[in-house]
Structure 1
Amino acid sequence: MEKIVIFGTSQLASLAHFYFDNDSPHQVVAFTVDKNYITENEFRGLPVIAFEEVEKHFPPSEYKMFLPISFKQMNFFRKAKFDEAKIKGYQCVSYVSSKATTWPDLNIGENCFIFEDNTIQPFVKIGNNCVLWSGNHIGHHSEIKDHVFITSQVVISGCCEIGENSFFGVNATIRDETVIGKASLIGMGAIITKDTPEFSIWVGAKSTMREGKSIDIDSISHKTNG
């Protein structure tokens, strides 16, 4: 049984602990957060260790890590912490629910969090550090690149390419053979029928879609805390 440390003491960390406890061959042994955000020494009955020194207590040669972090700052915060964990030498595990529909050849990277009722068709490729909440459809031969967050009831049709750091709101629909540019924000209920440029926002409006303003990447904080 592989032993893992979970980053965070948030609701997502609590969910991750529950899923690993009930639906995986891993054993959670501790939680870790940035030192300035430690408010208690235990969480869910396990120790909370400062991230800055976690490798002293749980060396990466013996333990692995899982970082269930939200989409804040368009997933750039989750990317930053994932990169820090890799620099420390940790291998990051992925969780795929036993209640998801997948095939034996599922191609998936590190630190992915795939909830129940996802349908992932053959020849799909999923990169590192992605979150797929419950109830999505990922069509055949599609590629989801690193650090993507997909909420619920999203349909990504076949042969799509999803750029890194993108976010998908509930009930968004992507037409087949569509390229979603890096850090695109696809809003709730949006219907995407053409390629999207990088750092753009798309907002659903009944049965149509309209393009919003571009994201100013300089306005996105790359802080690793907060």
Structure 2
Amino acid sequence: MRKNIIVYGIGKYAEYVSYAFQEDSGYEVVAYTIEDHLYDPHLQLKKPLVQFSKIHQNFPPEENSLFIAVGNNQIRNRIFKMAVELGYTLPSYISSQCRKWNNLIVGRNTFIDEGCVLQPFVQIGDNCVLFTSNIGHHTKICNHSLMSGAKTGGNVTIGEYSYIGLNASIKQNTKIGENSIIGMNCAIEKDTPKNSVFSNKGTVKRDIDSQVLGNRFLG
């Protein structure tokens, strides 16, 4: 018997997540939810849409799990905390079509798509998103991070709230500071400080407020 799951979100990523859970997991998507100020009762979805403030009444945590399908790291973390407080279980999705080893460690509410390749001894924290990325052995991806079409060597650490963009590559034994953005096509060969933004033209900006990073770059 399949378990019930609610998907938080109404965008394209939420649609993708819903399809993946429906077609490639032991979960049945029963509803969508969104915060009250974003709620539109006229929105046409394939499943019911419920205000987040009422979700525990309509779909109680004792009978339903929840997955947060939001690309913005900061917003995803905020909803994650609220969902945990409400008592929801937050399962992860690991595509049956990705390449991985049995010793992969994954936290809660993490999404790993069909294009990912993960070598042995990889650890991925809570609330992460991995799209079509190649992850080297002994790499650790910390909580609330997103990687899209990126590649790491072995023994890399990705700090919390980081975003690694398309075709970015990170050399082995490198540490990416928390709240960092590694832009499209960047090649990182040494440790980076926290709150940094790297562009593919080799420029770097440091000490950028994490809220600015979340709002401007991680939508």
Shorter-chain-normalised TM-score: which range? over 0.9
Q: Which stretches of structure 1, 4 residues or longer, exceed 6 Å deviation after superposition?
A: none
Deviation per CA, 1:81-129: give whole Å up to 9, x if none.
Answer: 1111111111101111111001122200011111112001110000000
1:171 and 1:103 map into 2 onto residues whose CA distance is 23
Note the aligned Cα RMSD (angstroms): 1.7
State the partner residue of 1:217. Answer: 210
Q: CA deviation at 1:150?
A: 0.5
Further displaced range: 186-195 or 212-221: 212-221
1:221 and 1:108 map into 2 onto residues whose CA distance is 23
Alignment of 1:114-153 (within 5 A): 114-134=112-132, 136-152=133-149
State the partner residue of 1:54. Answer: 55
Q: Which residue identity is paired with 1:30?
A: A
Contact 1:112 1:128 (8 Å CA) reproduced = yes
State the partner residue of 2:97. Answer: 99
State the partner residue of 1:183. Answer: 179
State the partner residue of 2:163. Answer: 167
| Cα pair distance change 1:165/1:64, threshold 3 Å | same
Question: Which structure 2 segments of 5+ residues have no match?
Answer: none
Contact 2:161 2:179 (8 Å CA) reproduced = yes
SS of 2:203's equivalent in the other structure is: strand
SS of 2:32's equivalent in the other structure is: strand
1:10 and 1:176 map into 2 onto residues whose CA distance is 35
1:69 and 1:172 map into 2 onto residues whose CA distance is 21
Q: CA deviation at 1:33?
A: 0.7
SS of 1:20's equivalent in the other structure is: helix
* Identity of matched residues, %: 35
Pairs aligned (count): 215
Alignment of 1:22-37 (within 5 A): 22-37=23-38
Q: Which residue identity is paired with 2:134?
A: H
Q: CA deviation at 1:220?
A: 5.5
**TM score, norm. by length of structure 2:** 0.93
2:131 and 2:214 map into 1 onto residues whose CA distance is 24
| Cα pair distance change 1:218/1:95, threshold 3 Å | closer
| Cα pair distance change 1:104/1:41, threshold 3 Å | farther
1:218 and 1:131 map into 2 onto residues whose CA distance is 19
